[in-house]
């Protein structure tokens, strides 16, 4: 009997796909929201901050249930999407959305802290040197926050790899479609004799997380050296 079952390999690949997509899709939005929170005085900022941080304090199962209410066949967004024959629940997209919502506060918090620590004089200097507001943001503020963006992405990626509660409610636990590593481990542990298989997947999970930390550490130190 081999170390991993073919379905395990599928779960690993799915986990990576969900975590990568969720992180990459959320990052631009996370940068935007972090900028709004760090550098602007928009009305309703406190409310926005509360909504963004809510998934951090809510049980993931609650987040998953709320998403189900929104995206279900009779949900507000679900009904709208049904017109275009798009289904979110029990699909890979559902798993990605669940991971994105749960990991988003970690991403925004990290980027926001980074942006707040960038001295605003750099941006002002760029403006007086002929750069418009967007230009100054993309050439000065964002590169100076690069390490924080990377840290936020790492946190979010790791959180997505481990996401369980919201995913199982919104996307279900369908092998080969939405079954990621934590869901596969859950299935093994709830069946008799699956302990050894669960342990193998745990080891894979630990290895993946370590790899992510190492990779982000080395990118961060190369950014620092510049």
Q: Which residues bind other proteins (CB under 8 A)?
A: 119, 121-122, 124-133, 135, 139-140, 143-144, 146, 226
User: At closest approach, how far in Å is the CB of 225 from other proteins?
Assistant: 9
User: At closest approach, how far in Å is the CB of 133 from other proteins?
Assistant: 8
In the bound state with other proteins, the residue whose beta carbon lies nearer, of 50 and 132, is 132
DSSP 8-state assignment for residue 1: -
In the bound state with other proteins, the residue whose beta carbon lies nearer, of 83 and 224, is 224
User: At closest approach, how far in Å is the CB of 120 from other proteins?
Assistant: 10
* DSSP letters for 153-201: HHHHHHHHHH--HHHHHHT---TTTT--HHHHHHHHHHSTT-HHHHHHH
Token readout for 190 is 């709830």
| HEC string for 22-33 | HHHHHHHHHHHH
User: At closest approach, how far in Å is the CB of 35 from other proteins?
Assistant: 17
Cα Rg of the chain, angstroms: 20
In the bound state with other proteins, the residue whose beta carbon lies nearer, of 75 and 123, is 123
In the bound state with other proteins, the residue whose beta carbon lies nearer, of 10 and 127, is 127
């Amino acid at each position: 009997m081999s170390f991993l079952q073919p379905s395990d390999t599928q779960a690993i690949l799915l986990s990576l796909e969900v975590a990568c997509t969720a992180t990459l899709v959320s990052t631009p939005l996370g940068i935007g929201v972090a900028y709004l929170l760090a550098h602007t005085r928009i009305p309703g900022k406190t409310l926005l901050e509360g909504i963004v941080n809510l998934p951090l304090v809510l049980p993931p199962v609650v987040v998953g249930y709320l998403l189900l209410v929104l995206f279900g066949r009779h949900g507000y967004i679900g009904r709208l999407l049904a017109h275009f024959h798009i289904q979110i629940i029990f699909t890979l997209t559902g798993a990605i959305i669940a991971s994105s919502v749960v990991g988003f506060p970690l991403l925004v918090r990290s980027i926001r802290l980074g942006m707040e620590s960038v001295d605003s004089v750099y941006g002002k200097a760029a403006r007086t040197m002929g750069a418009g507001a967007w230009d100054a943001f993309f050439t000065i503020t964002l590169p100076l926050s690069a390490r924080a963006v990377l840290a936020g992405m790492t946190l979010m990626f790791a959180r997505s790899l481990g996401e369980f509660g919201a995913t199982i409610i919104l996307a279900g636990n369908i092998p080969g479609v939405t079954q990621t590593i934590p869901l596969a481990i859950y299935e093994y542990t709830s069946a008799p004799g699956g302990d050894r298989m669960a342990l193998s997947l745990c080891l894979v999970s630990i290895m993946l997380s370590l790899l992510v930390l190492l990779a982000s550490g080395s990118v961060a130190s190369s950014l620092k050296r510049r």
